[in-house]
Amino acid sequence: MRFLLFLFLLISPVALAQDIPAETTAVADTLYRPNYPEGVYLTKEDFVNKRAVIRKVWPINVTGLDNKVQPTGVHTCYFYGSDLRKIPDAFAVSHKGHLYFQLKAIFKYCNEDDRNETSNFENSFVRVIIGGENYFYTEAPLANIWAQGIGYGVGGAVGGAIAGRIQGKGIVWDFKKQQFNIFKNCKDYNDFIGWQYTPGVIDCKDKKQNPYKVRKAIDTIK
């Protein structure tokens, strides 16, 4: 029995965390940091009220057999605590200045029209890429990405967020409505952006339309 316990601790993802390996930093000079109070937000109400549970956590990769501690600022990950367990139910996690929403929470608190979205990794977390007083914006591989392209003419800290690799479908947290809005497709995105920022509307007939225009539009209305 002691041998089995030793073996579990040896191969456990968080056994790595027990040794506190140094987390490398992922492009620290360009990643957006909302700097929410550090910790785990167990519920939506905790998040709205900025009431975090102070808890040491480690980002662990979603796929692969090594289950290694990931760099600070990685876009998608699981979070493990010092109790050797994956955090299964949380609204969000603030980790070293970065804010992450759990996919399970996004599905639970999205608007009714988005309830058909799903993922095989609903316990994973995705990092907020852009944010302001109105919205937080992130992306997740919930289904086939509806458009791909290349970012042009952007630079600096905001440019780094806008020109980074597309991570999936766009998702916004709406502070006023206190719910998520998932951009299921081009038309769904246009319905969201059209009444707020006309230049952000995309021609849905062009299947090669640049998805980075979505990020630029969100950065304008954030």
Give per-residue pLDDT as tens, 101-115.
Answer: 999 999 999 987 776
What pLDDT score does 180 carry?
Answer: 97
Residue 43 reports pLDDT greater than 80: yes
- Count: domains in the chain: 1
Q: Which of 214, 101, 201 is CA-nearest to residue 149?
A: 214
CA-to-CA distance for 189 and 114, rounded, in angstroms? 12
User: pTM (2 decimals)?
Assistant: 0.80
Output Rg (C-alpha) for the chain, integer angstroms. 18
The token pair that represents 169 in the structure block? 């479908």
What pLDDT score does 7 carry?
Answer: 39
**Band (205; pLDDT cuts 50, 70, 90):** confident
Q: Which domain holds residue 91?
A: 2-221
